[in-house]
C-alpha cells in the first residue's frame, strides 16, 4: 500500500468502544457523568485549598496543582469522545490528533512528576519534621513545580516531533476513543524504530525514575515510622501520607493494568476499556480519596460549602 506524508492525512478514524448504535447514548451519559464529577471534584479541592489559610502549605499547594492537572488530563480526550458519540462521527483531524497526543503526554507526565514531588514532601515532613518549613520553602516549591512543567513539556515536544515525521496510509483507523501515542505509531507505514526508542526511553527515565524516587521516599518514611515509639505517633505519621500513597497505588496499578492488557490481550477493545481506568476513573477518584481520608480537606470543604450557602441566603429574592 502506498504511504503518504503524515501532514497530508486529512483525518484519522476513532473506532471508540462499540459499533453498536444502541450503546452510544449509554456511553455518552456514563462518560459525561464521570467527566463532570471529575471536574467538580477537583475544582472543589482547588477551591478548598485556596480559600482556607490553614491549607496554604506545601502539601496542599502540590495537591491543588495535581487537581488542576487531572482536570486538564481528562479534558484532552473525553470532550472529543463525547462530541463524536453525540454526533455519531468518528473522525478527528490530523492536527487534532497531534494536539491530543501532545497534551495527553504532557499532562500524563505532569501527573507522574507531581506525585513524585508530593512523595518527597511527605518524606521531608516525616523524616525531617523540625526542618520541614525551612526545606520546603515557597521558593523551592515553586521551583519544583516549574521543573515538573519543563520536563513534561520537553518530553511531550520530543514525542510529538518524532510522531509528526511518520508517514501514514491513506485510511487510518485508530482502535481507541482518542489518539493514543503507541496506537498511532503502530499504524504508521514508515519505519518506527526511532519512535519506539524515544517511547521506551522516555518510559524508562520519566516513568521508572519517578517510581523509583517514590518507592525510595516511602522506604525512608517507613523506616522513620518504625522508629517512633508510641502507636499513636505511628498512626499520626502514617495518616499524613495515606491519601497520597493511595493515589500513587491507584495511578501506577491502573497504568500497569493497561500495559499488561495490551501485551496479553489481542483485543483492542479490552485495552480501550482498560485505559478508562487510568484516564478517567483515576482522576475522578483522586478528590474523593483526599477528601474522605483527610480531616483538613473535609473541614475546608465544609467551610467552603457553608460560605456559599450563606451568600445565597442573603441574596434578596
Give per-residue pLDDT as tens, 102-131: 999 999 999 999 999 999 999 999 999 999
Beta bridge partners of 169: 3
Structure confidence at residue 308 as a pLDDT band (50, 70, 90): low
Model-wide pTM > 0.85: yes
Give per-residue pLDDT as tens, 238-275: 888 888 888 998 888 877 777 666 666 555 666 777 78
- Per-residue pLDDT, 120: 96
The Cα–Cα gap between 183 and 20 comes to 22
Domain 3-298 class, CATH top level: mainly alpha
The single residue listed with the C-alpha cell 479490552 is 270
Amino acid at each position: 500500500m502506498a504511504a503518504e506524508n503524515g501532514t497530508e492525512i486529512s483525518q484519522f478514524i476513532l473506532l471508540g468502544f462499540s459499533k453498536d448504535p444502541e450503546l452510544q447514548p449509554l456511553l455518552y451519559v456514563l462518560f459525561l457523568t464521570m467527566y463532570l464529577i471529575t471536574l467538580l471534584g477537583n475544582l472543589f479541592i482547588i477551591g478548598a485549598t485556596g480559600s482556607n489559610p490553614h491549607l496554604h502549605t506545601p502539601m496542599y499547594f502540590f495537591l491543588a496543582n495535581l487537581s488542576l492537572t487531572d482536570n486538564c488530563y481528562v479534558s484532552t480526550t473525553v470532550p472529543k469522545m463525547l462530541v463524536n458519540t453525540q454526533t455519531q462521527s468518528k473522525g478527528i483531524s490530523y492536527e487534532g490528533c497531534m494536539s491530543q497526543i501532545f497534551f495527553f503526554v504532557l499532562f500524563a507526565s505532569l501527573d507522574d512528576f507531581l506525585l513524585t514531588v508530593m512523595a518527597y514532601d511527605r518524606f521531608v515532613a516525616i523524616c525531617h519534621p523540625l526542618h520541614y518549613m525551612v526545606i520546603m520553602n515557597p521558593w523551592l516549591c515553586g521551583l519544583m513545580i516549574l521543573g515538573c512543567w519543563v520536563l513534561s513539556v520537553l518530553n511531550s515536544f520530543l514525542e510529538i516531533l518524532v510522531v509528526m515525521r511518520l508517514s501514514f496510509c491513506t485510511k487510518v483507523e485508530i482502535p481507541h476513543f482518542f489518539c493514543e501515542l503507541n496506537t498511532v505509531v503502530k499504524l504508521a507505514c514508515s519505519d518506527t524504530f526511532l519512535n519506539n526508542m524515544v517511547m521506551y526511553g522516555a518510559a524508562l527515565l520519566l516513568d521508572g525514575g519517578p517510581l523509583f524516587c517514590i518507592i525510595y521516599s516511602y522506604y525512608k518514611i517507613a523506616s522513620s515510622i518504625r522508629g517512633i515509639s508510641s502507636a499513636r505517633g505511628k498512626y499520626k505519621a502514617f495518616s499524613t501520607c495515606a491519601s497520597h500513597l493511595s493515589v500513587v497505588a491507584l495511578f501506577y496499578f491502573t497504568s500497569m493494568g493497561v500495559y499488561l492488557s495490551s501485551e496479553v490481550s489481542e483485543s483492542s477493545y479490552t485495552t480501550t476499556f482498560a485505559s478508562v481506568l487510568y484516564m478517567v476513573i483515576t482522576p475522578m477518584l483522586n478528590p474523593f480519596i483526599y477528601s474522605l481520608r483527610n480531616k483538613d480537606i473535609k473541614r475546608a470543604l465544609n467551610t467552603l460549602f457553608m460560605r456559599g450557602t450563606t451568600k445565597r441566603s442573603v441574596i434578596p429574592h
